[in-house]
Amino acid sequence: MGLLLKIFIPLLGGALAFYFYSAPQSFNEEMLRGKRVIVTGASSGIGEQMAYHLARMETHLLLTARTESKLQKVVQRCLELGAASARYISGSMEDPSLPEVVVKEAENTWGGLDMLILNHIGSSGVSYFNGDIGHIRKLLETNFLSYVAMTASALPMLKESDGSIVVVSSVAGKVSSPFVAPYSATKFALDGFFSSLRQEFIMDKVNISITLCILGYINTESAVQAVSHIIKGTPAPKEECALEIIKAGVLRQQELHYPPWLVGSSVLLRSIAPEFLDSIIRSNIKVENIGRTSPPGQ
């Protein structure tokens, strides 16, 4: 029975994930031509790849991230790829004033907004929790509160355009994993807030879609550097992931699971066999490579 469970449940999860999240799509690049899009965390990784895909689709782009030199290169490449326009604002989302500044720039430049893609992230290591509450507060500001602040600022324009909000999150925000407690907390918060907000929009007949993107292990430079020596498995390609995020947002899906079979089966198992899922997660972690950091003040 145990062996059967190990075989059957992942297969069932994969089948359901394929059915719900990989059904034939009606996406067409023309849907994005001329649209006004903000992408945060756009200087590298998935955000950078989304910027390039959107540029090829001839959108107007406003990109933001911490590193100005990287943003300048991404903007230049976007213009070469055919973006209708491309500009940037550099800054850290730890600054509580930045979300409003970015949205105001979109309003002043375009007079409106069609899609808000929230993708930025604060760094957090993979280690045993050491009681550092200050680190959690800092992560909440970057990984959660800035998402909420930018959404609040953008709502008037998105209501006018019947626009879309795309929230890039993680399987760590759906399924508990060891050694990432502070990071996981911020991602669960995103699910709670934006899933609740979506319900409010539906009940209030506000035609703004919210797409929550639940991502597994992706081969961004930062992710590979952080966890390749800790978890078993091969990362999925960031270029394909970025395109799937854009498609999901344009098609106004409630959730995207990527890679679909892996993330979909994990979410399913969390509901029907949580202890079994926990054992799988623990078995795929190289605990001997997990570090310990001293508590604050020591």
Using the predicted structure, report yes or no on whether residue 2 has a pLDDT greater than 60.
no
Q: Residue 80's pLDDT is what? A: 98
CATH number assigned to the domain comprising residue 49: 3.40.50.720
Phi, psi of 228 (to 5 degrees): -60, -30
Q: How far is CA 187 from CA 3, 74, 131, in A?
A: 32, 27, 19
| Res 125: pLDDT | 80
What is the spatial distance between Cα 77 and Cα 100, in angstroms, rounded to a whole number? 26
**Tokens standing for residue 69:** 């030199």
| Confidence bin at 18 (pLDDT 50/70/90) | low
Confirm whether 13 is domain-assigned: no
**pTM exceeds cut of 0.75:** yes
Lowest average pLDDT, out of 22-26, 114-118, 191-195, 205-209, goes to 22-26
* Domain-embedded: residue 21: no
Domain count within the chain: 1
Say if 19 falls within a structural domain.
no
Query: 90 forms bridges with which residues in the sheet?
Result: 65
Condensed to tens digits (0 to 9), the pLDDT of residues 250-295 reads 999 999 999 998 898 999 898 899 999 999 999 888 888 887 776 7
- pLDDT greater than 90 at residue 297: no
C-alpha distances in Å from residue 2, one per residue of 14, 261, 284: 19, 21, 18
Residue 8 maps to a domain: no
Among residues 170, 171, 128, the alpha carbon closest in space to that of 270 is found at: 171
Structural domain containing residue 252:
29-289
Catalytic residue among 21, 88, 183, 217: 183
In a domain, 225, yes or no: yes
In a domain, 91, yes or no: yes
Q: How far apart are CA 65 and CA 40, in angstroms?
A: 6
Q: In the prediction, which pLDDT does 150 show? A: 98
Q: Give the pLDDT of residue 22.
A: 47
**Residue at 128 is within a domain:** yes
Note if 183 is an active site residue. Answer: yes
